A and B are shown apart, each in its own frame.
Chain A
């Protein structure tokens, strides 16, 4: 079965596609579209930014997302349209015109990626409501200092985009339904991939191929291919299983499908808790949030994944599914040890439920890293304290970056629970956190820093509750 998608307005049909073939290599190689650049090959610089348009059911438009082509796999484009800088047309559009004239490029190598991020924002791609700086935080420029790029984005917040022709082309190839393909690997073996079209089909496939690698956004597995140079053999792509892509918002809380992208859940999570929204804003660049899923962030079990500590503190429940049925567990129980999670090979993350905090709940989430945007936590701390008549009646505290898994701070929780919401309690809890964990030293921070800063986060929560400014991002300049 051929892989079909529309590339810069042209229908592309490909056989012999391996699951680990990247969109960037296809663009620069077979397609000869060299406008899209490789800067890092790991989704951290944005030089390879392209826009991917997914048809919306029963709507005459595409939903566009800026993604890093270097860690997107070709099968993920099946049934979609992709737009590269080479496809923006002859002549320059007004955005490009401004960028050409205002000094937005110096060496020019990162420029196509910036053009595509800003073009996406201008045509209403996911994240278009964000400030320009947040849209560009996943694009690195080493020359300009970013001023003209930000200005160009601010000037061109809207550009026309007509999806009709693309939709017509996509409908013509009729790619609805499941898909699969295979290719020969360099060592003579066979690599194959599947795109199930329902959760049932996914469960069946996993039962059949328990060795298969589940790939949602590929922001992690992409690096196995580009950096570890692993040739993927059997891959099931779950990013477009409709049932896994839903968000249900109720008074009780949020139910998020296992394949919901961070960018798509951003607004709902921010409504649940502004701190959670800010945390999500700082996960990767927009390109990464446009690909990476909350389910994937949980299932890969990273000790420094940003989502899990916050979700654990909020009391999230995880539902796994297989042909054998469903299992629901508190998210903290999912993480057993480093690299070990409570998931059988035939199970997948179906959904996550996050209870809505009540009016008495104080939610505080802090991520500490060397850089605010698009960085990985040295420490990520999350607190959910229920304060009733000056007493902490319930406390959930969880940290990332402090142990081999995202983990609760049980001693701190015990110290807080039942104690008055007062400075003495905060001091005791800060000390308790320091005995809750024995973190490692690594490139992101020393054990000593992690311990001190983690304890200080309780103080940050306290001072914030007293109305003091505690975040440097909120300070005005003189």
Chain B
């Protein structure tokens, strides 16, 4: 084939800042989400009756009042499921409806179908369930004490960390606790299922993983995958929260369709959604570090413990990713990372942008800060001293860091954002200000790109060129706002040398592209862009050969550009070529496929090459805190981020800014609170506080690192979904610096996340030695 898969430099469509393909619909309220579909006659609305105990046997269920409530058409329990009672992604342990026992508070126990949503919700509160309650396992301590685990504790190590620690001139030990995070996608969980002929079923699901929903629904109903079609045009946000969690609602809707033959919609109420679906894992990190006088680490022992909730979900891979990112950009010569995956009676923690990476990375950033605080050195100097470099370029899991741009990227941001001058200015401010204290920090990001479960790194596409020259592209990736559809359309338009307006992007459907992976791990554009390009190149080659036969010249010399095709001295408009090719009986439709090369990983040993490449970035953040109240404000953030050769700088900048603010929320205002019975108390935006427009830093600048990916990715771009989230680690470090400024002699403060006013005030008291 004449084409190479990547054609740098980027052409006229790829690399431009085209707007999101649905932007004109978004602003007009015309973009259609699942709940906007006109309601079909006979539509039933659904709600779950849920457990009020975190851990109990179900002794008896009295649902008479539920069935008798106005508008109720049917009530189902686990016994009504014809196939497998399973909505889990991997382990088979997530129940659609509780069977004999409940393992977390808020777990669905029965399902109500009614003529209105309100009727279903009202009736769902009328169930009388008798429990034989057991003591729930809720805390890290409880889970450790009983060795309640979702899988055996994992260990990733190199060298003799204990010996290196013992031999090092300086030592430190500490602990960091970080909270979880609710996704707070603005469109809540929703599914709409309707019956087709002969037992087939069609499901509209707000899901990042249509194939998984398809398989689970088929399995639940005792049917084959071929009987179930799952479709999603767009989600109103997902962030990982619709990777495995959407299946619960889709399965419920499908079950009702199966029994009633009527269409059924499940749109979860916001509070119910927050109680019933998983969140980011909270972590407790214990570290012991040995280092030299410059702060260079000689030995590190790290224990990462996360509360995974009641079921396995994606927790093994998430906790693996935490281990993979506990190095961040730093070389750890002798290291032992132990990862405990604790099973607790809480809603199962799940995927969330970064997928464990943020927790691992925040841990090592705390170690850097603590070392700097101990030595009285500038934290950035300590970070730089520990960066990967020549002869120090192998990760704890045995992968060579072959694309280490972190030192250059940090140096550029340091210079351009004026780190050193501003550090001096902050010191002057603090000397003159007894009540308000500023802090400044620069932290880097290195994020591994690829699913660490190797077989997931594949994608398919289906591309049609119509005889009028218009193009329809479909692929296995889903659109959740990240601009994936736009990027893939750019790739396709460029392949044919036509404008973006020639390309129609269509809804993701399991009957167009089968056996897809979740749109996750930041891999959407990498995988689906390549699959779409593969399909486009197949068709383009057919057209080129047709041109060569028709006009003379060689097929590889045919040029597709500017809406025209030139071959053998002739130039004809693209639509004319398509018409003539159709008349000549050339196939204008093709699938495309891509599998990421060069990946291997031995999970038992935790060694191998789990990532195709790394995406980098760094942020310099300035904050101010109030030492009387613990309040803070993020004053400025300067970001330099690596998207390789960006497919779409406008969309990539949107991902970077949005990811940063989301990360800032995780580390500051977003606090999940459970009570002693295991009930989530912060299940609404009234009590769970994501950032508002006024929490955006007073000044926020974003620059893109201009360098091609060293790997032949799609147009040498890099993934951008998750990495920017961790730029916000700089907010947390800057807050630490501001607290430290109140008493530098006490070293780095023991601030936990999220840094609410309460936690900052408590850390200040410890820093000053006035804690009661």
Contacts and interface: CB of A to CB of B under 8 A. Distances in A.
A and B interact: yes
Interface of A: 28, 32-42, 44-45, 47, 84-86, 88, 92, 96, 99-101, 103-112, 115, 132-134, 136-150, 186-187, 227, 229, 285, 366, 368-376, 378, 442-446, 448-449, 452-453, 456-457, 459-460, 463, 468-473, 475-478
Residue of A85, A370, A459 with most chain B CB atoms under a 10 A cut-off: A370
Interface stretch (B452-460, B490-498, B523-531, B655-663): B655-663
Given A472-B633, A476-B698, A477-B697, 13 more contacts: A39-B187, A41-B269, A44-B684, A47-B186, A107-B186, A107-B235, A107-B481, A140-B186, A186-B71, A445-B758, A463-B435, A473-B633, A475-B624
B626 interface: yes
Interface stretch (B24-32, B246-254, B589-597): B24-32
B342 to A, nearest CB: 23
Contact of B654 (A38, A42, A142, A143): A143
Nearest to B421: A478
A469 B430 CA distance: 12
A63 B31 CA distance: 30
A136 B629 contact: no
A449 B758 contact: yes
Contacts of A28: 35-36
B628 A143 contact: no
Contacts of A285: 692
A375 B684 CA distance: 12
A42 B686 contact: yes
Nearest to B765: A452
B338 interface: no
Contact of A42 (B121, B433, B650, B685): B685
Contacts of B438: 475, 478
B631 A472 contact: yes
A142 B35 contact: no
Contact of A370 (B234, B237, B669): B669
B237 A107 contact: yes
Q: Nearest 10 A-B pairs (CB), nearest first? A: A35-B29, A107-B481, A109-B236, A108-B26, A477-B635, A85-B29, A106-B481, A145-B657, A44-B685, A145-B661
Contact of A371 (B25, B418, B661, B692): B692
A140 B237 CA distance: 12
Given A107-B187, A137-B693, A475 B633 contact: yes
B270 A39 contact: yes
Contacts of A132: 693
A136 B185 CA distance: 18
A459 B436 CA distance: 13
B696 A99 contact: no
B553 to A, nearest CB: 41
A187 B70 contact: yes
Nearest to B18: A101
Contacts of B239: 142
A368 B756 CA distance: 11
A40 B684 contact: yes
A478 B636 contact: yes
Given A92-B28, A146-B661, A445-B758, A45 B685 contact: yes
B622 interface: yes
Contact of B436 (A187, A448, A472): A472
A84 B650 CA distance: 29
A133 B187 contact: no
Contacts of B681: 442-443
Interface string B483-507: 1000000000000000000000000
A34 B35 contact: yes
A229 B125 contact: yes
Interface string B230-261: 00001111110000000000000000000000
Residue of A88, A150, A227 with most chain B CB atoms under a 10 A cut-off: A227
A472 B686 CA distance: 23
A35 B434 CA distance: 51
A106 B661 contact: no
B704 interface: no
Nearest to B36: A34
Contact of B693 (A33, A38, A146): A146
Given A41-B269, A109-B187, A109-B236, A370 B658 contact: no
A443 B630 contact: no
Contact of B184 (A115, A142, A373): A142
Residue of B33, B122, B657, B693 with most chain A CB atoms under a 10 A cut-off: B693
Interface string B646-675: 000011011001111110000001010100
A373 B633 CA distance: 12
B687 interface: yes
10 contacts: A39-B186, A101-B19, A109-B187, A142-B186, A373-B692, A443-B681, A453-B761, A460-B629, A477-B635, A477-B636
B452 to A, nearest CB: 26
B26 A105 contact: yes
Contacts of B271: 42, 227
B723 to A, nearest CB: 15
A110 B692 CA distance: 13
B80 interface: no
Given A144-B657, A229-B118, A477-B635, A37 B758 contact: no
B10 interface: no
Contacts of A140: 184, 186, 685, 690, 692
A370 B71 contact: no
B265 to A, nearest CB: 13
A106 B482 contact: yes
B762 interface: yes
Interface in B579-630: 622, 624-626, 628-630
Contacts of B426: 478
A419 B200 CA distance: 82
Contact of B27 (A44, A99, A107, A446): A99
B127 interface: no
A478 B622 contact: yes
A470 B119 CA distance: 51
B710 interface: no
A110 B186 contact: yes
Contacts of B482: 106
Contacts of A139: 692-693
A145 B658 contact: yes
Contacts of B435: 460, 463, 468-470
B684 to A, nearest CB: 6
Interface string B116-160: 001101100100000000000000000000000000000000000
Contacts of B33: 37, 109
B5 interface: no
A40 B125 CA distance: 19
Contacts of A142: 183-186, 237, 239, 658, 662, 690
B643 to A, nearest CB: 15
Contacts of B20: 103, 105-106, 108
Residue of B38, B237, B700 with most chain A CB atoms under a 10 A cut-off: B237
Contacts of A473: 633
A147 B269 contact: no
Residue of B27, B636, B758 with most chain A CB atoms under a 10 A cut-off: B27
B695 interface: yes
B693 A149 contact: yes
A112 B187 contact: no
Contacts of B758: 378, 445-446, 449
A133 B70 contact: no
Contact of A100 (B24, B440, B483): B24
B635 A86 contact: no
Contact of A35 (B28, B270, B696, B757): B28
B470 interface: no
Contacts of B119: 186
B61 to A, nearest CB: 21
Contact of B631 (A100, A107, A368): A368
Contacts of A101: 19, 23
Contacts of B651: 103
Nearest to A100: B23
